[in-house]
């Protein structure tokens, strides 16, 4: 959009959150509130996007490092919304056009509604166009006061409102389109005589009214879009709305959610058709799940890619990893970052992978740790196999070539290589490479002491019969 400048206010502390974290960094749908607002703003392709930061400015700035074109303005101290907007004046010296102001704590606003607001604003050639909605519970919001002819005369904040004003159910969304020319001059005349002693941006309405400037409104039919987050309860409410929308879209696209109320799926997650998601599953971040998969209860998958027809059994955790088609995982499997499991492989219970590649059709079925390992195709990793990849200072690689067989309860002390088709005998501590086609066996030799049990028993009986011993007691076992 030509000549549209977006300003997002995000300097407030969010006192009502009772949090050490600045309010706009609290998350819904896996993204901080401010990120939702910036996404909607970016979709408009405005001329510029600026953000006013203040409370915990550096942590907000750091969290937004992924937005290279964002202009930051610091408001210090934070004296109210009018004061916050005032801080952007120098960015717009000599500029004309429209300033679209958004609040960092109103995360559900759609780009479509913002476009409509700007269109209405331009059509009416207004100095200010407000976004409003009529709600059942106006508590906490500024109320839109209109005269008999329907013109907006002022906005009154809840704390400053008279009882009849509090009864008004049309609320201010805190989102405005301003004509740039008169804006900053008018902001200078905002005073702070109100219940909070702050400079309220909303006072601009009464000021413009006195100046006989055109004030327009766009009343949204769906008031959900303008919910502002001021408390943890509102955070949970909006988080629930985002989840419901995500789940509804997934189901409409052919995904089965056995219990949508307990499916925690972030908005950017993609899932193929006919995949079945059991209760209490968490799919987060940029996760992609193929089609025809079955994801069982208690599983959490973060920033990972899962192929088609994969079965993930209960309580499996997968982070920053790739799983190819037809793999079976879990229950209780753990894929840590940098792991990759090829087609038709099998990872069973209590198996942990870290930075490990498991080749096509390979199996690690029970109680195993594979770290910094490259495992070829068709390898059998026996129960209780451990790669000893860490010497206390450095991590070392383990390589197991195609078709190798690692007997149960073996330790592979890295760096080490098990050659193609080689065998490792069960219970081995392998410290040297095993060449392909060989058997590596590295364990204490077994000796059987013949007649040991009988001799032991006889010795106990003799001892019990000695004078002074308590002969009534049966021999201890
Ligand atoms: C504000 C509006 C209210 C509206 C509501 C909608 C005012 C005076 N009131 O109230 O009419 O119904 O939003 O959600 O504008 N901020 C700063 N610097 C400051 C103060 C606030 O950057 O000095 C930022 C906050 O970080 C927040 C936004 O401005 O992102 C709104 O501030 P907040 O204190 O939440 O205003 P509300 O009381 O919700
Ligand atoms: Ca607010």
How crowded is the C-beta side of 287, counted as CA atoms within 13 Å?
Answer: 25
Residue 280: φ, ψ to 5°: 55, 45
State pLDDT tens for residues 357-393.
999 999 999 999 999 999 999 999 999 999 999 999 9
Lowest-confidence pick of 115-119, 371-375, 387-391, 465-469:
465-469
Q: Predicted confidence band at 401 (pLDDT cuts at 50, 70, 90)?
A: very high
Return d(Cα 16, Cα 329) in angstroms, integer: 43
Q: Predicted confidence band at 49 (pLDDT cuts at 50, 70, 90)?
A: very high
4-30 CB burial, b ≥16 within 10 A, e <16: bbbbbbbbbebeebeeeebbbbbebbb
State pLDDT tens for residues 414-457.
999 999 999 999 999 999 999 999 999 999 999 999 999 999 99
Q: Find the angle CA(112)-CA(118)-CA(121) to the nearest 5 degrees.
A: 140
Using a cut of 0.85, tell me whether the model's pTM lies above it: yes
Task: Tell me the β-bridge partners of 426.
Answer: none
State pLDDT tens for residues 61-111.
999 999 999 999 999 999 999 999 999 999 999 899 999 999 999 999 999
- In this prediction, residue 327 carries a pLDDT of 98
3-class state of residue 179 by DSSP: strand
Q: Which atom of ligand 1 is nearest to the CA of 200?
A: 8
State pLDDT tens for residues 240-295.
999 999 999 999 999 999 999 999 999 999 999 999 999 999 999 999 999 999 99
Looking at ligand 1, which residue's alpha carbon is closest to its atom 33? 12
State pLDDT tens for residues 151-206.
999 999 999 999 999 999 999 999 999 999 999 999 999 999 999 999 999 999 99
Cα of 59 to ligand 2 centre, how many Å?
20
Predicted confidence (pLDDT) at residue 404 exceeds the cutoff of 70:
yes
Active centre residues (catalytic): 366
Q: Find the angle CA(321)-CA(288)-CA(41) to the nearest 5 degrees.
A: 115
Residues in the chain: 477
Mutate to test the pocket of ligand 1, among 103, 130, 172, 197 (most ligand atoms within 8 A of CB): 103
If you compute the radius of gyration of the chain from its CA atoms, what whole number of angstroms results? 33
- Token reading at 381: 């990793």
Residue 390: φ, ψ to 5°: -125, 125
Return d(Cα 176, Cα 111) in angstroms, integer: 14
Predicted confidence (pLDDT) at residue 475 exceeds the cutoff of 70:
no
Which ligand sits nearest to residue 174's alpha carbon? 1
Q: Which atom of ligand 1 is nearest to the CA of 155?
A: 11
Cα of 229 to ligand 2 centre, how many Å?
6
Query: Considering only CA atoms, which of 86, 369, 359 is closest in space to residue 200?
Result: 86
| CB contact at 8 A, 241 and 235 | no
- Token reading at 107: 């995360």
The H or E element spanning position 27 is: strand 27-28
Percent of the chain clearing pLDDT 70 (strictly above): 98
- Token reading at 425: 């005998």
Mean of pLDDT values over 129-133: 98
Which ligand sits nearest to residue 226's alpha carbon? 1
Which ligand sits nearest to residue 54's alpha carbon? 1
> Is the beta carbon of 104 within 6 A of some atom in ligand 1?
yes
Looking at ligand 1, which residue's alpha carbon is closest to its atom 14? 228
Write down the number of H helices and E strands in the chain. Answer: 9, 39
- Token reading at 408: 């149960």
Mean pLDDT, the chain, integer: 96
Distances (CA, A) of 378 to 219, 258, 386, 430: 63, 35, 18, 20
Block residue for tokens 């069973």: 348
């Amino acid at each position: 959009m030509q000549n549209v400048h977006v300003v997002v206010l995000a300097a407030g502390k969010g006192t009502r959150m009772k949090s050490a974290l600045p309010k706009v960094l609290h998350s819904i749908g896996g993204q901080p509130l401010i990120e939702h607002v910036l996404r909607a703003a970016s979709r408009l392709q405005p001329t510029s996007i600026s953000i006013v930061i203040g409370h915990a400015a550096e942590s907000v700035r750091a969290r937004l490092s992924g937005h290279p074109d964002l202009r930051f303005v610091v408001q210090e101290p934070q004296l109210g919304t009018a004061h916050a907007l005032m801080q952007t004046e120098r960015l717009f010296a000599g500029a004309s056009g429209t300033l679209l102001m958004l609040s960092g704590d109103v995360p559900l606003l759609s780009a479509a509604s913002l476009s409509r607001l700007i269109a209405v604003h331009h059509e009416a050639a207004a100095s200010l166009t407000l976004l409003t909605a009529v709600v059942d519970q106006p508590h906490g919001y500024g109320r839109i006061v209109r005269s008999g002819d329907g013109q907006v005369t002022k906005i009154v904040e809840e704390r400053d409102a008279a009882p009849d004003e509090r009864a008004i159910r049309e609320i201010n969304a805190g989102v405005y389109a301003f004509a740039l020319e008169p804006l900053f001059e008018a902001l200078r005349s905002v005073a702070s005589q109100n219940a909070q002693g702050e400079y309220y941006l909303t006072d601009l309405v009464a000021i413009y009214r006195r100046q006989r400037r055109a004030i327009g409104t766009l009343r949204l039919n769906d008031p959900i879009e303008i919910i502002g987050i001021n408390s943890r309860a509102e955070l949970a409410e909006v988080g629930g709305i985002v989840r419901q929308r995500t789940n509804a879209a997934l189901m409409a696209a052919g995904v089965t959610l056995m219990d949508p109320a307990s499916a925690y799926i972030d908005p950017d997650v993609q899932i193929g058709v006919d995949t079945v998601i059991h209760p209490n599953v968490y799919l987060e971040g940029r996760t992609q799940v193929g089609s025809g998969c079955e994801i069982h209860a208690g599983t959490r998958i973060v920033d990972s890619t899962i192929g088609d027809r994969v079965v993930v059994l209960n309580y499996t955790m997968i982070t920053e990893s790739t799983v190819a088609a037809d793999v079976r995982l879990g229950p209780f499997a753990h894929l840590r970052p940098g792991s990759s499991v090829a087609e038709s492989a099998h990872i069973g219970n209590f198996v942990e992978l870290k930075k490990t590649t498991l080749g096509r059709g390979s199996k690690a079925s029970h109680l195993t740790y594979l770290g910094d390992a490259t495992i070829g195709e068709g390898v059998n990793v026996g129960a209780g196999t451990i790669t000893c990849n860490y010497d206390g200072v450095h991590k070392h690689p383990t390589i197991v070539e195609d078709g190798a067989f690692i007997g149960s309860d073996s330790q592979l002390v890295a760096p080490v290589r098990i050659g193609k088709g080689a065998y490792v005998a069960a219970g081995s501590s392998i410290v040297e490479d095993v060449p392909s086609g060989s058997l590596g066996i590295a364990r204490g030799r077994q000796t059987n002491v013949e007649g040991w049990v009988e001799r032991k028993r006889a010795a106990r009986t003799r001892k019990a019969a000695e004078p002074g011993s308590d002969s009534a007691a049966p021999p201890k076992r």
